[in-house]
């Protein structure tokens, strides 16, 4: 009887497809569940780097450890939690909700997944010396457990960092609570929200609700000529149609991520709004969305409307995120 049952089970067992390679796994690993709000895009996690509690812990350790550089730098030096993992100096982009992004750095030098941008950071930006990691008393056992790696490679380091950075998710701002019917917006915040989502303020086309970016590049008219870092995505493509175009930054926690723009030219949110209101330069690559009716290039907002817009932007500040103990230095 037992033999028959075994035969049945064996006969019906799913065959492994040709070319299907089992995932590299160490000892028992604990799956890590990352919360994704219903108004976010679908979360994409590559099959060869599933989120695990142990992998995230390893990435977190590396994020704060200068061992990954040769000049005493760690990721956290330029990505500080109190600034939503950005930093005023050197005006670094925030690390938040990158799990849902596929374009990275202001000029879009790297496109793909977090593993790709982390490979760039490890191999190029930090030029990580894995010998130090392999010789450390701590890391070999951790990498062995997470990746079943006998020798730590830069790919393993990038994958671990990608796991941790995937967990740097900001989903509990006042605006999120408003969407969940847990709070209300003040009249000024509500006016700003409406402005944001109408043609008058017209923020929503690029800073789409949810992530508050659109994973795309735009020239928003901050320059009339382009040189140096102001060339934007052109630096990557060499295509003159990309001059002055930059990746749309998220507006989540924007209150904490001053100064603004790729070169930090605007100190305050008020300065930023005033740019859109009256400072747009019309160049050949200016995004068409800035051409308003009657050949106007500014938003023509009143002082009250500008105040309201800034009030709304501040509802995107997520104090839970910047105080999340799971993201602090271990």
Give the footprint of another protein on this chain (CB under 8 A).
1, 4-5, 7-8, 11-12, 38-42, 100, 102, 194, 197-199, 204, 208-211, 214-216, 241, 282, 284, 286-293, 295
Q: How far is the CB of 286 from another protein (least distance, A)?
A: 7
Q: Which residue number, 186 or 240, has a Cβ lying nearer to another protein?
A: 240
Q: How far is the CB of 1 from another protein (least distance, A)?
A: 7
Q: Is there a contact between 210 and 36 (Cβ–Cβ < 8 Å)?
A: no
Q: Which residue number, 182 or 199, has a Cβ lying nearer to another protein?
A: 199
Structure tokens at 213: 């970016």
Q: How far is the CB of 197 from another protein (least distance, A)?
A: 4
Q: Is there a contact between 305 and 188 (Cβ–Cβ < 8 Å)?
A: no
Q: Is 228 left (phi over 0), alpha (psi -120 to 50) or beta?
A: left
By C-alpha distance, which of 182, 175, 169 is closest to 43? 169
Q: Which residue number, 130 or 286, has a Cβ lying nearer to another protein?
A: 286
Q: How far is the CB of 288 from another protein (least distance, A)?
A: 3
Q: Which residue number, 63 or 290, has a Cβ lying nearer to another protein?
A: 290
How many CB atoms are located within 10 Å of the residue 167 CB? Answer: 18
How far, in Å, CA of 47 to CA of 60, rounded?
20
Q: Which residue number, 185 or 256, has a Cβ lying nearer to another protein?
A: 185
Q: How far is the CB of 118 from another protein (least distance, A)?
A: 20
Q: Which residue number, 7 or 25, has a Cβ lying nearer to another protein?
A: 7
Burial class (CB in 10 A: 0-12, 13-18, 19+), 135: exposed
**List of E strands, 171-321:** 217-218, 246-247
- 57-76 burial, b at 16+ Cβ within 10 Å, e below that, comes to bbbbbbbbbebbbeeeebbb
Q: How far is the CB of 8 from another protein (least distance, A)?
A: 5
Q: Where are the alpha helices (DSSP H) in 148-264?
A: 154-166, 174-179, 187-196, 234-237
Q: Is there a contact between 244 and 228 (Cβ–Cβ < 8 Å)?
A: no
90: preceding bond cis by omega (within 30 degrees): yes
Q: Which residue number, 37 or 264, has a Cβ lying nearer to another protein?
A: 37
Q: How far is the CB of 113 from another protein (least distance, A)?
A: 13
């Amino acid at each position: 009887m037992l033999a028959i049952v075994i035969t049945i089970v064996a006969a019906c067992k799913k065959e492994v497809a040709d070319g299907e390679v089992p995932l590299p796994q160490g000892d028992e690993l604990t799956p890590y569940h990352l919360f994704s709000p219903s108004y976010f895009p679908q979360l994409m996690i590559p099959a060869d780097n599933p989120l695990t509690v142990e992998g995230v812990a390893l990435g977190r350790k590396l994020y704060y450890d200068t061992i990954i550089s040769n000049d005493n730098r760690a990721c956290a030096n330029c990505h500080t939690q109190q600034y939503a993992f950005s930093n005023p100096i050197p005006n670094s982009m925030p690390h938040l909700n990158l799990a849902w992004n596929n374009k990275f750095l202001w000029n879009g030098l790297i496109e793909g997944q977090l593993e790709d941008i982390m490979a760039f950071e490890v191999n190029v930006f930090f030029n990580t010396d894995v010998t130090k990691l392999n010789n450390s008393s701590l890391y070999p056992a951790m990498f062995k457990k997470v990746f079943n790696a006998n020798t730590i490679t830069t790919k393993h380091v990038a994958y671990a960092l990608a796991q941790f950075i995937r967990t740097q998710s900001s989903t509990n701002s006042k605006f999120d609570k408003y969407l969940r019917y847990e709070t209300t917006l003040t009249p000024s915040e509500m006016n700003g929200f409406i402005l944001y989502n109408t043609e008058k303020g017209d923020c929503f086309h690029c800073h789409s609700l949810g992530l508050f970016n659109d994973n795309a590049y735009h020239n928003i008219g901050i320059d009339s000529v382009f040189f140096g870092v102001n060339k934007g995505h052109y630096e990557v493509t060499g295509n003159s149609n990309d001059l002055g175009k930059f990746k749309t930054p998220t507006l989540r926690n924007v209150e904490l991520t001053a100064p603004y723009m790729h070169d930090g030219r605007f100190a305050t949110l008020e300065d930023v709004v005033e740019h859109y209101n009256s400072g747009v330069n019309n160049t050949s690559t200016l995004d068409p969305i800035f051409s308003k009716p009657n050949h106007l290039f500014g938003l023509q907002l009143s002082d009250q409307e500008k105040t309201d817009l800034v009030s709304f932007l501040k509802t995107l500040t997520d104090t839970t995120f910047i105080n999340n103990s799971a993201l602090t230095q271990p």
